[in-house]
Amino acid sequence: MGSVCNGIDVSELLSTFDEIRKDPAKGLFNVRVRSDWVSGFHCRQTVVSSAAAGSQSIHPKHHSADTDLPPILQGGDEGLWPSELLLASIGGCLAATFVAHASAMGIRLEALQVEVCGEGDIAGFLGIGPGRPGFTSIHAKLVVRSREPRDRLEDLHRYATSHSPVWSAVTSRVAADSRLVLETDDLGAVTLLG
């Protein structure tokens, strides 16, 4: 084990960076998550496959998360509201990106907390108003305790927000599509083209 910074083996991390620089194909990643409806608004999200850094299976453990709506929207409160899960994903990704690059730069962190706030109008989701469904604004705040100079931490913050995959997906245009597949008793799954 090489030098450890912020709980990360920096030599292993930098070795991964070098491998991807040498072979950019190793930097490609693919994540597939399945959402199974349980009942009401309760769904279970399960990671079906996740490949990155040249590995076809990056999770040795099974991971899932439940989502639901709050009681005020007739949900059973069996998990995070999907919008809350999105904000949690943003916060987790910003934190991971900040810590990874802090470690690679030799910046020691004493504490890090990421708070993400989203604002929107539920009328868009309900289809009863002119508002768009989802968030109209998202604000992230990274609270950092470190002995490093402020300007170095500000540079790290700019770097982290410009390299966080989830932050990037939310703040820039990402190609997205959705298709409907019907399961039938006699034919199996049928894809509707459109």
Q: CATH number of the domain that 26 lies in? A: 3.30.300.20
Query: Of 29, 59, 76, which one is at a domain's C-terminal end?
Result: 76
Whether residue 117 is found in the same domain as residue 48: no
DSSP state at residue 132: P
Whether residue 61 is found in the same domain as residue 99: no
- Residues with Cβ within 8 Å of 138's Cβ and at least 6 positions away in sequence, in order, are 87, 90, 116, 117, 118, 119, 170
Query: Of 23, 45, 76, which one is at a domain's C-terminal end?
Result: 76
Query: Of 21, 44, 76, which one is at a domain's C-terminal end?
Result: 76
The structure's pTM equals 0.83
> What is the extent of the structural domain holding 24?
1-76
**Each residue's pLDDT tens digit in the chain (194 positions)?**
568 999 999 998 888 888 888 988 888 888 888 899 999 999 999 888 877 766 766 677 778 899 999 998 899 999 999 999 999 999 999 999 999 999 999 999 999 999 999 998 888 888 887 878 889 999 999 999 999 999 999 999 999 999 999 999 999 988 888 898 888 766 566 565 55
Count of structural domains within the chain: 2
- Paired tokens of 137: 């604004």
Whether residue 131 is found in the same domain as residue 117: yes
Whether residue 107 is found in the same domain as residue 176: yes
